[in-house]
Structure 1
Amino acid sequence: MKADKTAVSDDCRDRISERISVFLSISAAAMAAFAVVLPSGYSIGALFLLIGSVFGLIRSGVPHIDRTAWGVVFAMSAYSTYWITHAALHGADPSAFDQTSRLLLAVPVLLATAMYGLRWVFIWIGIALGGVSTGVIGLYETYVESARRASGGVGPEHFGNLSIFFASLSIVGLAWMSETRQPIRYQVIPILGILGGFAGSLASGTRASWIALLVLLVLITFALLRLRLRRMLLVMAVAILVGSSALATTMDHSSFVTRLQGAAEDISHFYTDGARAGSMSKRFDVWKGSLRLFKEKPLFGWGDRGYQEEMNSLAESGYITKGAARLNHSHNDWLNASSKRGILGLTILAALYFFPIWLYLRFFRSEQSPSDRIISLGGLVASTNFLVYGLAHHALGSNNGVMNFAFWTAVFCGYITNAKRYNELSESCNQISHEPQRISRS
């Protein structure tokens, strides 16, 4: 009778764990699906992720995770703590406290997903719906509202980044669905997400996101070749070719051409006659000023207010233009961190990117199931997207940027940690089950 009660109790616990896993998965899907559909839509799924994670951790406690995963937790916590402390000491704007705290709030999500795992069919569909929504909103704003650049309520730069983010992850999601032999009706959804994300990016006119896309396509191509998914690579190439042709014939791509020509002209003028009226010229100018500020105060940086005051001084002296001085960030995450937070801030930012990428690469290169390795590729794509985009813009300098980076990093790192724990337990069980047989043979 006691054994029966124990079995019922274990079955009940397993059912609760299953429901928590499904709840976390649907919340992650909603984080993508509603990202640009509703005002601060990315926060809705993130909030439910946090609530579900806290409940799960209260129920089961903190899971055992490896040192690299703890490195991700440390980097997230260090980033939030140092940025908040530094902002408080330098009298920064209250938004500085709010934005950076998102990384700290993502820590429970990483731990909970490491404990309970995720159902990726929900998440890939949610990501694809996010890509579709960027395309629909981008086309609506440019064609119906006649906007010069689509913004989706988050600004054209970040809208373009999210469009490429969802499009690239939809390619990975298509590979996962193909590998796990999901129904055809499910595999169509990521294809729509790819096309929608491309359309949203073109409508936004965000050049930094186009650079990120080129890097991500190369990364995905090499990864699919390594996984020997050549058929999937062919499907991806055909989908991109057909989709690009369709977009080229249906969309007014004059803004795309204009943006590229404008960038080329800005760069040419900057290095010939010193004209600095264009956005690219301002960017080069602000990089120049930020680098000088870092050299003058390399250890702890100037802080947000000090940075702005010193940039204004550089403009008054003629070192940079007043247009560049009016920008409140360096248009580069690395220069922004170094000039405002110093070497320590730069080191923490490097750890914030390095630890997740190292975790993804280690898992991808290990002998794991192809479907799990594809998920690690998704994490690598997510981190690389923000890393490359952050070279030409302040990727972590807005609520949507830091929220999406923090919570998607938590989702991917948490799941991979869960998969590693499961694989290690399976190997241990196999060794134990084989041990008597090995002894009897000897």
Structure 2
Amino acid sequence: MGFARRLTSLAVFLMGALALVVDSGYSIGPALLLLASVSLLWRRPALNLQAEDKWVLAALAGYSLLFIIQLFLERADSSAFERPSRFMFAVPVLLFVLAYPPKLSWLWSGLIIGSFFTGCWAIWQKLVLGVERATGYTYVIQFGNISMLFGLFCLAGLGWAVMQPNAKRWVLLLLLGAVFGALGSLLSGSRGGWIGLPFVFLVLYRAYGNLLSAKLRLGIIAGLLALVALVYFVPQTGVQARVQHAFNDIELYVSGENKATSLGARFEMWQGALILIAEKPFTGWGWNGYRQGMQELVDNGKVIPFVVNNHAHNEYLDNFARRGILGLLSLLALYLVPLRLFARHLTEPNLELRALATAGAILPVAFMDFGLSQVFFGHNSGVMVYAFWLVVLWSTLRAYEQRLPTLAQP
């Protein structure tokens, strides 16, 4: 294995291992890959780009360029360009990883370690330090949802694990990573990420369902239900309280008694965004105009004042209201194009490739769920995790698909 592949392997390992347990840890691996991709200017490897690769590149570049152009025309502050530009930075990384893919053991090991230590940190914060909601160096919702995502990635990696010489050990470690990733989410109390789990499990079932006996399927379902029940009924986890708070928030909102609760404020932000969308569906209100539009709604008594200095807490509504129909379509392409392409590989005969495709399909499905109750791309952690895990999983899948016998060598 040459130096370039060792560097890619290290960077991808760090993307999983450090994402949530080090301040801005989710940026360390991508930064290494972005710096390494500069070498493509003189290395000039044969990339053999196919139509599918170009579709992924187009989804990333299209979202980024459209966003940047809209901000430029609006004369937005320079800080507003930071997050959309990072989707463009993922483009050279895709090309670099396609040429020099990581060792798969490094990729899955990073996810196992990252999930394990994130879960342990959440347990320590919640049960020892007594914090209300476990969090890390990023906002609590990002912490919980990304922890869950990495745990789900570990489940996706089981197909790779069963093909390894030490299969039982790898399977056990990946299952451990999945459990601790789920615990990190549950102890954070980030409820939005739980809603989409049935759709994620459909992806897992599509990939691996035909390999499991009926008895084993029932055992897995029973185990998951037992884990959820245990976490729910143990008061110290705080999960039961978070669920009860949700019902209380809805009751208070519907009765009009209090609209400023956690869920009530979200309902107000969604309502405000829908009103703004109806007024400017094609052009949107712009980065700064969105706040002005919300202020007018507050002045007219249509929404509570809390919504003015906040995004819509919904990725779809926020993009639609700020950037119009083109903004919404570019967001949907960013989700659906990769999902479609990864889904084509969910029945790959080679389970190592199927594992990568399964993780790749889980990524947009999970983020589509996260976006229902949070503007995930309004945070650096959301942008870095989605954009760079997308290109790493896709280019690694494509590289191994093309050159599996060669890449499998030490």
Give the TM-score, by structure 1 length. 0.85
Q: Comparing 276-285 with 47-56, which one deviates more in the overlay?
A: 47-56
Amino acid at match of 1:343: I
SS of the residue corresponding to residue 387 of structure 1 reads: helix
SS of the residue corresponding to residue 176 of structure 1 reads: helix
Give the Å deviation of 1:56.
Answer: 4.8
Cα contact 1:109–1:410 (8 A) shared by 2: yes
C-alpha distance after superposition, 1:65-102 (max 9, x if no partner): 22222111112112222222222332434332111111
1:396 paired to 2:377: yes
Cα contact 2:232–2:240 (8 A) shared by 1: no
Amino acid at match of 1:100: P
Amino acid at match of 1:383: P
Structure 2 partner of 1:321? 304
Give the Å deviation of 1:232.
Answer: 7.2
Give the Å deviation of 1:64.
Answer: 2.0
Give the Å deviation of 1:63.
Answer: 1.3
**Structure 1 residues 379 and 147: CA distance shift in structure 2, 3 A:** same
1:257 to 240, 243, 252: 240
C-alpha distance after superposition, 1:392-418 (max 9, x if no partner): 111111001000000000011112222
Cα contact 2:206–2:346 (8 A) shared by 1: no
1:296 to 279, 291, 311: 279
**Structure 1 residues 368 and 95: CA distance shift in structure 2, 3 A:** farther
- 2-side partners of 1:62 and 1:53: how far apart? 14
C-alpha distance after superposition, 1:237-285 (max 9, x if no partner): 47646655765687713x2112111212222333344641211111111
1:167 to 135, 141, 151: 151
2:61 to 65, 74, 77: 77
Cα contact 1:69–1:359 (8 A) shared by 2: no
1:354 paired to 2:361: no
**Structure 1 residues 292 and 249: CA distance shift in structure 2, 3 A:** closer
1:38 to 22, 33, 49: 22
**Structure 1 residues 138 and 251: CA distance shift in structure 2, 3 A:** farther
1:140 paired to 2:154: no
Map 1:79-118 to 2 at 5 A. 79-118=63-102
**Structure 1 residues 57 and 234: CA distance shift in structure 2, 3 A:** farther
- 2-side partners of 1:272 and 1:348: how far apart? 38
- The unaligned stretches of length 5 or more in structure 2 are none
2:135 to 151, 158, 178: 151
Structure 1 partner of 2:36? 52
Give the TM-score, by structure 2 length. 0.91
- The unaligned stretches of length 5 or more in structure 1 are 1-14, 426-442
**Structure 1 residues 118 and 285: CA distance shift in structure 2, 3 A:** same
C-alpha distance after superposition, 1:346-385 (max 9, x if no partner): 11111111211111012224x5412211210110011211
Cα contact 2:12–2:102 (8 A) shared by 1: no
- 2-side partners of 1:233 and 1:57: how far apart? 49
How many percent of aligned residue pairs carry the same amino acid?
A: 31
**Structure 1 residues 154 and 186: CA distance shift in structure 2, 3 A:** same
Q: Comparing 22-31 with 302-311, which one deviates more in the overlay?
A: 22-31
SS of the residue corresponding to residue 396 of structure 1 reads: helix
Cα contact 2:151–2:179 (8 A) shared by 1: yes
- 1-side partners of 2:103 and 2:357: how far apart? 14
Cα contact 1:224–1:232 (8 A) shared by 2: no
Cα contact 2:135–2:188 (8 A) shared by 1: yes
**Structure 1 residues 231 and 176: CA distance shift in structure 2, 3 A:** farther
C-alpha distance after superposition, 1:314-345 (max 9, x if no partner): 01101111123332x11111111110011111
Amino acid at match of 2:380: N
Structure 2 partner of 1:428? none
Cα contact 1:221–1:233 (8 A) shared by 2: no
Number of matched pairs: 406
SS of the residue corresponding to residue 259 of structure 1 reads: helix
Cα contact 2:11–2:33 (8 A) shared by 1: yes
Structure 2 partner of 1:284? 267
**Structure 1 residues 48 and 231: CA distance shift in structure 2, 3 A:** farther
1:216 paired to 2:197: no
1:387 to 368, 374, 387: 368
Cα contact 1:20–1:116 (8 A) shared by 2: yes
Cα contact 2:314–2:373 (8 A) shared by 1: yes
Cα contact 1:35–1:130 (8 A) shared by 2: yes
Cα contact 2:260–2:304 (8 A) shared by 1: no
SS of the residue corresponding to residue 304 of structure 1 reads: coil
1:182 paired to 2:166: yes
Structure 1 partner of 2:359? 378
**Structure 1 residues 163 and 251: CA distance shift in structure 2, 3 A:** farther
C-alpha distance after superposition, 1:138-166 (max 9, x if no partner): 12222333221112010111001111111
Give the Å deviation of 1:234.
Answer: 6.4
SS of the residue corresponding to residue 344 of structure 2 reads: helix
Q: Comparing 352-361 with 223-232, which one deviates more in the overlay?
A: 223-232
**Structure 1 residues 155 and 193: CA distance shift in structure 2, 3 A:** same
SS of the residue corresponding to residue 392 of structure 2 reads: helix
- 2-side partners of 1:323 and 1:204: how far apart? 23
- Structure whose alpha-carbon radius of gyration is higher: 1
Cα contact 1:62–1:111 (8 A) shared by 2: no
Cα contact 1:109–1:414 (8 A) shared by 2: no
Structure 1 partner of 2:6? 22
- 1-side partners of 2:18 and 2:354: how far apart? 27
